[in-house]
Amino acid sequence: MGKITLKHVNKSFGDVAVIPDINLTIENGEFVVFVGPSGCGKSTLLRLIAGLEDVSAGQIEIDGTDATDLPPAKRGLAMVFQSYALYPHMSVRKNIAFPLKMAGMTEAEQEKKVQNAARILNLTSYLDRRPGQLSGGQRQRVAIGRAIVREPSAFLFDEPLSNLDAALRVSMRQEITELHQTLKTTMIYVTHDQVEAMTMADKIVVLNAGNIEQVGSPLDLYHHPANVFVAGFIGSPKMNLIAGAEAAKHGATTIGVRPEHIDIAAGGPWSGTVGLSEHLGSDTFLKVEVDGIGTLNVRAGGEVNLRHGDRTSLAPQAGRIHRFGADGKALA
């Protein structure tokens, strides 16, 4: 089991309300990603669920039981930290066995579980090493191993890949996703990297200034952003947001068009001059200074051969324009 429910959860540090009022349900077995810019409260929310911070008001239920006042160890959750938080004075074996030792398990049982976790995470040959003798990826696997052996009702990940290099991040991302598919345990994952969010999540929770902006599947958020913030945050490169007369033509205060939904088309409604042109082989990223609108990002095919200073015409794809009202919310 691993259903987590937050009811009117509020967290303040002094006079500052970091999380004003959050209601959220995470279903058993879901992979939920909290995403948002730095300081949006996503890590605080995770720490509230973990019990490492006390809520100022509201209730946290784990599997239908009120866990608001339970200490972290009693919540049946396991956490993987950004800095790995391994015990430097213990071997990998002892690190992984530590939660089992705290639970009063016999040494034979501990060893069996440690071996099993080490096998899943390819750590068997490193069991007698200290964390200082391991690479970043191996350390993160030890941290995950320490979480796995507890057989928690949910895993909490606090930006676990941000200390790794780009290549390792991609492979660890896949490993965590595979782990979720194997264990089928609830996972809550905090990141500011929306690519991680899009690739890993069953459900994304977009946070901004302590409030939930939108909850939905990755593609739901991509295709139907609820407001300007989500529209600008989800998707890479970012969605082009256009206000003023051009938006008014579509009956909106702001309109949004993703870079990949703008075609380079002779006779298109928007004309402009190419400012920057990045050729990646598979794609070409263009910054085009469009007359009367401003700078637009365009994602074109790899064969496009436009260069700095070239004139071009652009056309948004039909049905791909997102419309937002004066309050920033999406218009039907």
Partner 1 sequence: MARATSPRRKALTTLAAWSVALVIFFPVLWMILTSFKTEPSAVAMPPQLFTADWTLENYAEVWQRSDYPRFFWNSVVLSLGSTLLGLAVAIPAAWAMAFVPGKRTKDLLMWMLSTKMMPAVAVMIPLYLVFLKLKLIDTHIGLVLALMLMNLPIIVWMLYTYFKEIPSEILEAARMDGAGVFKEIAYVLTPMALPGIASTLLLNVILAWNEAFWTIILTTTKAAPLSAFIASFSAPQGLFYAKLSAASTMAIAPILILGWFSQKQLVRGLTFGAVK
How many residues at the interface with partner 1, by CB under 8 A?
22
* DSSP helix, strand, coil percent of the chain (3-state; round to 5): 30, 35, 35
Q: Least CB distance from residue 98 to partner 1, whole Å?
A: 5
Joined tokens for residue 135: 């690479």
Q: Quick check: 161 binds partner 1 (CB under 8 A)?
A: no
Per CB under 8 A, the segment of 4-12, 77-85, 185-193, 209-217 that binds partner 1 is: 77-85
| Selected binder of partner 1 within 93, 146, 169, 258 (CB under 8 A) | 146
Closest listed residue to residue 160, CA positions, set 49, 50, 84: 84
Q: Least CB distance from residue 195 to partner 1, whole Å?
A: 25
CA distance linking residue 317 with residue 309, whole number of Å: 24
Q: Least CB distance from residue 265 to partner 1, whole Å?
A: 52
Q: Least CB distance from residue 282 to partner 1, whole Å?
A: 39
CA distance linking residue 56 with residue 251, whole number of Å: 42
The footprint of partner 1 on residues 37-66 (CB under 8 A) is: 50, 52
**What is each CA distance from 124 to 112, 128, 150, in whole angstroms?**
12, 9, 18
CA distance linking residue 245 with residue 242, whole number of Å: 9
Place of tokens 């993703």: 258
| Selected binder of partner 1 within 16, 38, 71, 166 (CB under 8 A) | 71
Backbone φ and ψ of 104, nearest 5°:
80, 25
- Residue 163 or 236 with smaller CB distance to partner 1: 163
Q: Quick check: 87 binds partner 1 (CB under 8 A)?
A: yes
- Residue 32 pairs in a beta bridge with 188, 203
Binding mask 89-108 for partner 1 (x = CB under 8 A): x--------xx--xx-----
Q: Quick check: 79 binds partner 1 (CB under 8 A)?
A: yes
| Selected binder of partner 1 within 83, 124, 174, 217 (CB under 8 A) | 83
Q: Which DSSP symbol is given to 329? A: B
Closest listed residue to residue 308, CA positions, set 281, 332, 283, 284: 284
| Selected binder of partner 1 within 24, 85, 170, 304 (CB under 8 A) | 85
- Residue 14 or 267 with smaller CB distance to partner 1: 14
